[in-house]
Structure 1
Amino acid sequence: MKTVIVTGAASGIGRAVAKHFSGQGWQVAALDIDRDGLATLGDSVRAIECDLSSEDSIRAAVSAAGFDRLDLLVNNGGPADPVAGPIGEMSLADWNSWIAPHLTGSFLMVRECVDLLRAAKGSVVNMASTRAYQSEPDTYGYAAAKGGIVGLTHALAIGLGPDIRANAIAPGWINSAKEELSEDAHAQHPVGRVGKVEDIVQAVAYLSEAGFVTGQVLTVDGGMTRKMIYTA
């Protein structure tokens, strides 16, 4: 039976990824700091509380998963809200509230899982963002963390190959909360709609099986990063 660890699995994209692989018969370890959210996943996954900004917590969580091999590691965890406010008002703690769980947490998860991944000739899928390449105002920590994940991904692909593949996904606007959105919100996308969590699940599933793909960033954004946008 195949095995997967998914971080940030209590809600949104991570939750959908965990439920997908569980439905495919995989053994799933779902990691998150949100204990209540994990509790709603049911008995089909191994729900493990984990703080991705803590080295000790990550080490304990990987151990608690109890796997002797790992086919897939999905590094998805970290705060979703990208807005930090003016840079002059940011503290180091503010900065690290994005860098630590997103970027350092991804590094620590791979480090703790590397022997398990080698045993299975498995793969890593890191969750980057189109914000690694383009920004709105006052999103410094999030953009830097996601840009770092892009760099970490190709470094992992070269450093850990050929036994382990490493890729990333750069989602655009994904309506993970299933909010009611305006027609304009959908229409601005070249594909005619805002993204759904299922779009990212499909991308993760593809990369988990794409044996000739490594070191790549798969952009899943409905074409928005290819669109010129002018106000006049």
Structure 2
Amino acid sequence: MAVDQQYVMITGAGAGIGREVAWAYASKGATVILTDKNAESLAQTTERLRSGGQRVFSQVLDVSDPAAIAACFAWVRESAGRLDALINNAGLGAWKSPYDLEVDEWDYVLNTNLRGTFLCAREAAKLMRASGGGAIVNLASTRALMSEPNSEAYAASKGGIVALTHALAVSLGPDLIRVNAISPGWIETGDYGALRPIDHAQHPAQRVGNPDDIARACFYLTDPANDFVTGTNLVIDGGMTRKMMYEE
């Protein structure tokens, strides 16, 4: 199935990587189904795509709310009728010392990033199973593999997404649903031109990443021709997780 025949859902499409991935799919002719908890940001993305003539559905969704997820996918079933690919991109962090991180802050991050990813994947799989299969891509992070201080909730949620991905790949494989993860490193979604030479040079690839790097990976993982790729975690970080860091 060519991209222009696909129905692709992107969560967290109001800004950042999600917005650019949505644009990338829409620009290739896919019908995109966009969600975000920020109604204003979602409206901006939706208007940008519709003004270019792309086929767009959009719905406000907070993926930390299980009831809202169920209602959203019922809406997808009724309005779009099918789903070929899901990009589970919505996520957030709480950057606080583990001494100060409150239980409700921990829960909100895990419920948004990890539980939200599972519930969206489960509901998407129900639609995909009915139409003969599909592809799910979960956005994890290199923080699943390495850490900075005060990132415990975020790191735990992203590590959980990596494990959830291979578990779902095994469970959903008989229904011809492929599940993969992408772990981005530094992906600049702001002013790329403001980056310093040292920012680029610290990467073995000699540059900081941009959302197009993630979009191209999503295209690969959601291409039905790549049906032998499932359960993997594709690290896209310019080589940073392979670089030893020692102070001189």
| TM-score, L = length of structure 2 | 0.89
Residue 183 of structure 1 is matched in structure 2 by 197
What are the equivalent positions in structure 2 for 1:82-121 lying under 5 Å apart? 82-118=93-129, 119-121=131-133
Residue 19 of structure 2 is matched in structure 1 by 15
Matched, 1:228 2:240: no
C-alpha contact (below 8 Å) 1:157/1:167 kept by paired residues:
yes
SS of match in other structure, 2:215: helix
C-alpha contact (below 8 Å) 1:18/1:28 kept by paired residues:
yes
Matched, 1:71 2:84: yes
What are the equivalent positions in structure 2 for 1:1-232 lying under 5 Å apart? 1-41=5-45, 42=47, 43=50, 44=54, 45-65=56-76, 66-79=79-92, 82-118=93-129, 119-162=131-174, 163-179=176-192, 180-209=194-223, 210-232=226-248
Counterpart CA distance in 1 for 2:69 and 2:111 is: 12
Counterpart CA distance in 1 for 2:21 and 2:127 is: 20
C-alpha contact (below 8 Å) 2:11/2:35 kept by paired residues:
yes
C-alpha contact (below 8 Å) 2:106/2:153 kept by paired residues:
yes
Counterpart CA distance in 2 for 1:98 and 1:26 is: 31
Structure 1 position 67, deviation (Å): 3.0
Structure 1 position 83, deviation (Å): 4.9
Q: 1:73-129 CA deviation, whole Å, 9 max, x = no partner?
A: 1100011xx452111211111102211111000111012122211124101000000
More helix per residue? 2
User: Which amino acid letter does the alignment assign opposite residue 26 of structure 1?
Assistant: A
SS of match in other structure, 2:206: coil
Counterpart CA distance in 2 for 1:74 and 1:141 is: 22
User: Which amino acid letter does the alignment assign opposite residue 185 of structure 2?
Assistant: G
Moved over 3 A (4+): none
Structure 1 position 38, deviation (Å): 0.9
| TM-score, L = length of structure 1 | 0.95
C-alpha contact (below 8 Å) 2:204/2:240 kept by paired residues:
yes
User: How many residue pairs end up in the alignment?
Assistant: 230
Counterpart CA distance in 1 for 2:94 and 2:122 is: 29
Counterpart CA distance in 1 for 2:245 and 2:41 is: 38
C-alpha contact (below 8 Å) 2:94/2:109 kept by paired residues:
no
C-alpha contact (below 8 Å) 1:84/1:94 kept by paired residues:
no
Task: From the superposition, tell whether residues 31 and 183 of structure 1 become closer, same or farther in structure 2 (CA, over 3 Å).
Answer: same
Quick one: percent identity of the two aligned structures? 44
Counterpart CA distance in 2 for 1:25 and 1:221 is: 28
- Structure 1 stretches lacking a partner, 5+ long: none
Counterpart CA distance in 2 for 1:181 and 1:132 is: 25
Structure 1 position 24, deviation (Å): 1.6
Q: 1:158-203 CA deviation, whole Å, 9 max, x = no partner?
A: 0000310000000000001235111111100011110000000001
C-alpha contact (below 8 Å) 1:70/1:120 kept by paired residues:
no
Structure 1 position 68, deviation (Å): 2.7
